[in-house]
Structure formats: structure tokens, C-alpha cells
């Protein structure tokens, strides 16, 4: 069934929302996890996102865009609201990414010839740390592009921007990330950003394998 059909079914009978939940849960969870670096918190915020979605599905207006675009907006709002309430937890999440960076091996094709694993992991840790120095808007757009691998149009739908604005904001966010990584001016190329996102992906897949990604009590 198409998103339009799934939304129509859920609006008529909220128990049908489970189809949208099953279709988009993993996608939204991965995004939230990249932003908070905490499995339990990611589960809670993702659960909150879908609870809000099911509560408001009756007033949702189909605009011809993927339903995930709206879910991303709800998730982003929940993440931002959470961190507004607790600066301490935000700082703790940054620290967790520092630890996470030491647990991953960079993909073979991203390790330069002659560069040992220790240096690669140090670079990855630096990228993780630098990522969390960015604004929430920068982290959102970088996560959607490099982790979720969304197209410019899909990002535009999720963030309610034009495709042109997505390109401009993404380029600026990438440049700011480069400066955070190497403030002296010797910036990493965009490939290094992708290395960071491989780490996010591997963490998410490990969590999926642990079976921690479902909330049966929701329905």
C-alpha cells in the first residue's frame, strides 16, 4: 500500500497506524540514535514520536509527500525539546560518542594507504566530537544526508525547505564541520564525514541485532 493509502486507513481506524509504524520505525529510530547517542533515550524519543503521530493522525493532511517527512519533523522537535530541558544530558551524549568512536573500525576503503588503524579511529573520534559542536540544524541536515542517505528532495520535505536551500545549508554545514575537525585550516574532505556516518550505521545495526528496537506495548 502507498503512504497515502496507509494514512487514509489510519485516519479511519487508528489500529491501522501499526502499518505506518512498522514501515518507518527503524528509519526514524536510526535517525534519533545518531542525534542522541544513547540507546534507551533513542527508544524513548522514538516512542514519543510515534505516540504523537498516532494522536495527531486525524488532523494530518496528505500533501503528496512521504509520511516519513512528517515523522522526521516530529522526531527533530522531540530531540530539541529534550535537550532544552537538560544541558547535562546533552553533554553526556557527546561524551558517549567519544567512547563509541573507539569501538569501531573504519571501513577498509576509507583507510588511506599507510595509515594504521589507531590513527583511523582517532580521526573518527575527532569527527564524532566535532559533529556535536555544530548547531542542531546542522546536525539534522548532515544526519539526514550522510546517515539516512536521503535525496535533496526528501530532505527538503522533512525540513520544509526548498531543494535549493537544502543544497546551500548542506554545503555550509559540511564546511562548518570541516572547520570544527581542523580549525587550523587543514580540513578533512567530505569522505571523512561519511566515515563518521559508517560508525553511526554500525552502532544502529548492532542495536537492531540486539532486538531493542520495538515497542509492542504501543498498540
Asked whether the predicted pLDDT for residue 104 surpasses 80, the reply is no
- Look at residue 54 in the predicted model and tell me its pLDDT: 95
Stretch 161-188: mean pLDDT = 80
- 41-97 pLDDT tens trace: 889 999 999 999 999 999 999 998 999 999 999 999 999 888 777 655 555 555 555
Confidence of residue 184 (pLDDT cuts 50, 70, 90): low
CA nearest neighbour of 124 among 181, 180, 184, 187 = 181
CA pair distance 3, 157, nearest whole angstrom: 14
pLDDT in tens, 188-213: 554 555 555 555 555 544 554 455 44
Confidence (pLDDT) at 83: 79
- Give tens-digit pLDDT for 121-167: 565 566 667 777 888 899 899 888 877 889 999 999 999 999 999 99
Nearest Cα neighbor of 72 from 56, 85, 53, 97 is 53
pLDDT of residue 53: 96
CA 40 to chain centroid:
15
Q: Which is nearest to 163 in space by CA: 155, 174, 171?
A: 155
- Give residue 50's pLDDT: 96
Higher-pLDDT residue of 119 and 39 is: 39
pTM over 0.75: no
pLDDT value of position 209: 42
The pLDDT, as a whole number, for residue 92 is 53
12-16, 107-111, 142-146 — which one is most confidently predicted on average? 12-16
**46 vs 213: CA distance, rounded Å:** 9
Amino acid at each position: 500500500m502507498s503512504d497515502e493509502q496507509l494514512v487514509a486507513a489510519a485516519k479511519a481506524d487508528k489500529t491501522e497506524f501499526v502499518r505506518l509504524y512498522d514501515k518507518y520505525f527503524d528509519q526514524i529510530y536510526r535517525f534519533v540514535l545518531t542525534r542522541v547517542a544513547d540507546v534507551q533515550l533513542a527508544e524513548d524519543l522514538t516512542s514519543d514520536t510515534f505516540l504523537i503521530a498516532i494522536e495527531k493522525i486525524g488532523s494530518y493532511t496528505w500533501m503528496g509527500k512521504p509520511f516519513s517527512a512528517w515523522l522526521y519533523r516530529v522526531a527533530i522537535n522531540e530531540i530539541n525539546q529534550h535537550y532544552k530541558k537538560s544541558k547535562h544530558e546533552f553533554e553526556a551524549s557527546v561524551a558517549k560518542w567519544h567512547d563509541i568512536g573507539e569501538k569501531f573500525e573504519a571501513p577498509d576503503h576509507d583507510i588511506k594507504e599507510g595509515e594504521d588503524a589507531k590513527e583511523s579511529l582517532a580521526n573518527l573520534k575527532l569527527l564524532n566530537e566535532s559533529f556535536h559542536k555544530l548547531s542542531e540544524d546542522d546536525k539534522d541536515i548532515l544526519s539526514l544526508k550522510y546517515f539516512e542517505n536521503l535525496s535533496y528532495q526528501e530532505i527538503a520535505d522533512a525540513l520544509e525547505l526548498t531543494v535549493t536551500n537544502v543544497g546551500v545549508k548542506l554545503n555550509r554545514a559540511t564546511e562548518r564541520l570541516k572547520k570544527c575537525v581542523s580549525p587550523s585550516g587543514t580540513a578533512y574532505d567530505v569522505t571523512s564525514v561519511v566515515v563518521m556516518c559508517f560508525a553511526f550505521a554500525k552502532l544502529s545495526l548492532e542495536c537492531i541485532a540486539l532486538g531493542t528496537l520495538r515497542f509492542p506495548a504501543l498498540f
